[in-house]
């Protein structure tokens, strides 16, 4: 359980995080989505006590991170796979990490084995590929068998086999009741690997919800062909829908569901030839949402947030 | 205790520490052998004043004044390595209590460099006296002031390692921290030479390397502090620098690479 409580972070004149407020629940994989520079990494660093917030706080398992006694046993984190001394071997890196949180030494070999780098554990980390470093980072995150896991762009540098592996692995961690919080700028990756999504832009909360809800509610349009398109267009507009791309072939409607359009047409006696809901891809939703982060950021009444 | 153990593993598993230790041994003992051998071979040609003021103790420990740069590098890299590699973020994630982290690092650094410093200084002293034997007057470790000089010479190296560590924690960059460390030991004394003579003495005796010479001399050199006063002044420098470094470390973000 992670609670982001009105977090604000200012670097000089730049407002990196602006009153960010959300929760990450256990038992599901939660994606953290935003364009580059939107504040994802800053948020993660504040959760881990690396950066000090200008205002607000981040709470993990009911405590500020700095108050956790053996934090590696409660929170596992992979922020930057290359943030390891290149001259140290993977095994020694993990041994030092284990020693700092009183984790038994045999656990080091277990996690090395699990992520599949046991064979190169005595090689210096500087010789590793990005994919191998990524696996070492995951090994470090798992070392303390924590209930909360944070991964910043974990898919970077992994081969297709590794990506498949990590998706199943996130799912398994969540099924065990853990809190799994994964950031990415790859929207297509998010669509297949997470349950819940939190979207931020320019340091502000934009929206959150399940992948299905987001694609259904935000970017969905309806394509309609009917006997009297002009009349249908007028009806749609009068019922707070928006008509796009009107031509002889048909009209594209947003703001109304296909059910609602069908009922309007029926009541008005218009013959419908075609009525096709067009679900936006998560990518389109994301572009739409973050196109003007400030406009959407000020709208904080999304029911999916549970407020 | 767990943090100290972790930092000890980190200290001994990187090559820079091992190299630093090797260079410290080489400089203190190697240069000690070289200097004492030169004194022995040229003893008969030395002036009466040089002979009268000759100190067999500090002359055999001179190599440590070169080794101070090696222990400085050990101390600096122990923290700046964390910043240049980015591993400081992994470290702080494991040990978010920053005071505890720095305390653990200082304990590991102080103990290793103190053992190292005492080992090389005792070795350089004993080997030096053996080289002097029969030609040059020698000193015995049985004398209280001689024993003090050798012990404080080792302590000087350990204190400089902590001083360099504190500079590294303030500057967070290896090259910058080592440059400042070397400048304080070598360049600042040169600046002192431009001062009027009356200021110069006051200035010089407060310099770290002058304090080091005082610490390793059985009798206080002219215009210098006594061994214990010098030790406490150096300790004050180290503690003050470390406190500034700690205050900055508490406030700063450990965010992306600077």
Same domain, A107 and A205: yes
Same domain, A62 and A211: yes
Same domain, A115 and A155: yes
Higher-confidence position of A216 and B38: B38
Q: Is A50 on the interface with B (CB under 8 A)?
A: yes
Average pLDDT estimate for B53-78: 94
Beta strands in chain A (DSSP E): 2-11, 14-24, 29-33, 55-60, 75-78, 148-152, 179-184, 196-201, 204-210, 221-226, 242-244, 251-254, 272-278
Domain that holds residue A132: 2-215
Last residue of a domain, one of A196, A215, A234: A215
Average pLDDT estimate for A198-213: 86
Q: pLDDT at position A283, please? A: 67
For the record, the structure tokens of A14 come out as 């730049």
Same domain, A119 and A237: no
User: In the A/B pair of chains, how many CB contacts fall below 8 A?
Assistant: 91
Same domain, A198 and A231: no
Count Cβ atoms below 10 Å from residue A165 Cβ, excluding itself.
Answer: 16
Residue B26 has pLDDT above 80, yes or no: yes
Same domain, A153 and A197: yes
Residue A258 has pLDDT above 70, yes or no: yes
Residue A300 has pLDDT above 50, yes or no: no
Average pLDDT estimate for B151-175: 97
Exposure of A74 in the CB half-sphere (CA atoms within 13 A): 21
Nearest-by-CA chain B residue for A65: B96
Residue A291 lies in a domain: no
Q: pLDDT at position A149, please? A: 96
Judge contact between B120 and B31, C-beta under 8 A. Answer: no
> Are A85 and B7 inside 8 Å of each other by CB?
no
* B14 strand-pairing partners: none
Same domain, A200 and A233: no
Q: Is the dihedral of CA B12, B13, B16, B21 positive or negative?
A: positive
Residue B135 has pLDDT above 80, yes or no: yes
Residue B49 has pLDDT above 60, yes or no: yes
Specify burial of residue B84 (Cβ count, 10 A radius: 0-12, 13-18, 19+): middle
Separation of alpha carbons B190 and B172, rounded Å: 26
Same domain, A9 and A128: yes
Same domain, A240 and A157: no
Same domain, A153 and A56: yes
For the record, the structure tokens of A122 come out as 């005595």
Q: What rounded mean pLDDT belongs to chain B?
A: 93
> Are B13 and A88 inside 8 Å of each other by CB?
yes
Judge contact between B238 and B166, C-beta under 8 A. Answer: yes
Count Cβ atoms below 10 Å from residue B151 Cβ, excluding itself.
Answer: 18
Domain count for chain A: 2
In this structure, what CATH number is given to the domain that contains residue A190? 3.40.50.300
Residue A229 lies in a domain: yes
| Interface test with chain B among A12, A83, A141, by most B beta carbons within 10 Å | A83
Strands in A179-184's sheet, in edge-to-edge order, are A75-78, A148-152, A179-184, A29-33, A196-201, A204-210
Residue B220 has pLDDT above 60, yes or no: yes
For the record, the structure tokens of A198 come out as 């939190």
> Are B85 and A83 inside 8 Å of each other by CB?
yes
Q: pLDDT at position A246, please? A: 75
**Nearest beta carbon to residue A48 from set B3, B16, B93:** B93
Same domain, A157 and A262: no
Residues of A in contact with B7 (CB under 8 A): 96
Last residue of a domain, one of A166, A190, A215: A215
Angle at which helix B64-85 crosses helix B98-132, to 10 degrees, equals: 150
Higher-confidence position of B83 and A188: B83
| Of B67, B51, B227, residue with least CA distance to B147 | B227
Residues of A in contact with B16 (CB under 8 A): 87
Same domain, A120 and A95: yes
Q: How many residues does chain B have?
A: 258
Average pLDDT estimate for B14-30: 96
Residue A85 lies in a domain: yes
What secondary structure does DSSP assign to A75-97, as a single string?
EEEES-TT-S-TTSBHHHHHHHH
Average pLDDT estimate for B176-185: 95
Q: pLDDT at position B256, please? A: 58
- Residue at token pair 């407002």: A15
Last residue of a domain, one of A200, A215, A230: A215
pLDDT tens for A31-67 read 998 888 889 999 999 999 999 999 999 999 999 999 9
Residue A32 lies in a domain: yes
> Are A71 and B251 inside 8 Å of each other by CB?
no
């Amino acid at each position: 359980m992670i609670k982001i409580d009105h977090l604000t972070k200012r670097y000089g004149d730049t407002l990196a995080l602006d009153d960010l407020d959300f929760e990450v629940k256990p038992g599901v994989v939660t994606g953290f989505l935003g364009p580059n520079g939107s504040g994802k990494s800053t948020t993660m660093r504040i959760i881990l006590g690396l950066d000090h917030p200008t205002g607000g706080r981040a709470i993990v398992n009911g405590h500020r991170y700095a108050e956790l006694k053996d934090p590696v046993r409660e929170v596992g984190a992979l922020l930057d796979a290359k943030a390891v001394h290149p001259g140290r071997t993977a095994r020694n890196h993990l041994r030092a990490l284990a020693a700092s949180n009183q984790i038994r030494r045999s656990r080091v070999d277990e996690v090395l084995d699990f992520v599949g780098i046991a064979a190169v554990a005595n090689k210096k980390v500087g010789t590793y590929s990005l994919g191998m470093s990524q696996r070492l980072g995951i090994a470090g995150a798992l070392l303390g068998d924590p209930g909360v896991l944070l991964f910043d762009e974990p898919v970077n540098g992994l081969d297709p086999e590794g990506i498949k592996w990590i998706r199943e692995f996130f799912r398994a961690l969540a099924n065990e009741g853990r809190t799994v919080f994964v950031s990415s700028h790859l929207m297509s990756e998010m669509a297949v690997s997470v349950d819940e999504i939190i979207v931020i832009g320019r340091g502000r909360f934009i929206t959150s919800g399940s992948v299905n809800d987001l694609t259904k509610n935000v970017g969905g349009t309806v394509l309609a062909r009917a006997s009297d398109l002009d009349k249908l267009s007028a009806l749609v507009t009068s019922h707070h829908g928006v008509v796009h791309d009107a031509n002889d072939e048909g009209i594209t409607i947003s703001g109304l569901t296909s059910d609602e359009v069908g009922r309007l047409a029926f009541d008005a006696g218009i013959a419908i030839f075609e009525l096709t809901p067009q679900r936006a891809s998560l990518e389109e939703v994301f572009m739409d949402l973050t196109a003007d982060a400030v406009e959407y950021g000020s709208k904080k009444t999304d029911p999916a947030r549970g407020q | 205790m767990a943090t100290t153990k972790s930092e000890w593993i980190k200290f001994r598993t990187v090559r820079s520490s091992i190299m630093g230790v090797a260079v410290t041994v080489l400089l203190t003992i190697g240069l000690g052998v070289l200097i004492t051998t030169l004194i022995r071979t040229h003893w008969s040609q030395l002036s009466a004043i040089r002979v009268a003021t000759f100190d067999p103790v500090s002359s055999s420990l001179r190599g440590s004044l070169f080794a101070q740069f090696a222990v400085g590098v050990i101390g600096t890299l122990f923290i700046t390595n964390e910043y240049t590699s980015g591993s400081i973020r992994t470290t702080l994630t494991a040990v978010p209590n920053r005071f505890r982290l720095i305390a653990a690092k200082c304990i590991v650094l102080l103990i290793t460099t103190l053992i190292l410093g005492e080992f090389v200084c005792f070795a350089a002293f004993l080997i030096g006296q053996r080289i002097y034997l029969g030609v040059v007057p020698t000193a015995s470790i049985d004398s209280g002031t001689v024993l003090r000089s050798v012990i404080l010479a080792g302590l000087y190296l350990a204190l400089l390692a902590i001083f360099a560590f504190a500079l590294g924690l303030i500057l967070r960059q290896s090259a910058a921290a080592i440059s400042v460390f070397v400048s304080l030991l070598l360049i600042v004394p040169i600046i002192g030479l431009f001062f009027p003579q009356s200021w110069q003495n006051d200035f010089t005796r407060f310099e770290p390397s002058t304090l080091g010479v005082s610490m390793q001399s059985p009798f206080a050199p002219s215009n210098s502090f006594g061994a214990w006063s010098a030790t406490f002044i150096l300790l004050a420098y180290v503690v003050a620098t470390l406190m500034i470094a700690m205050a900055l470390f508490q406030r700063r973000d450990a965010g992306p690479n600077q």
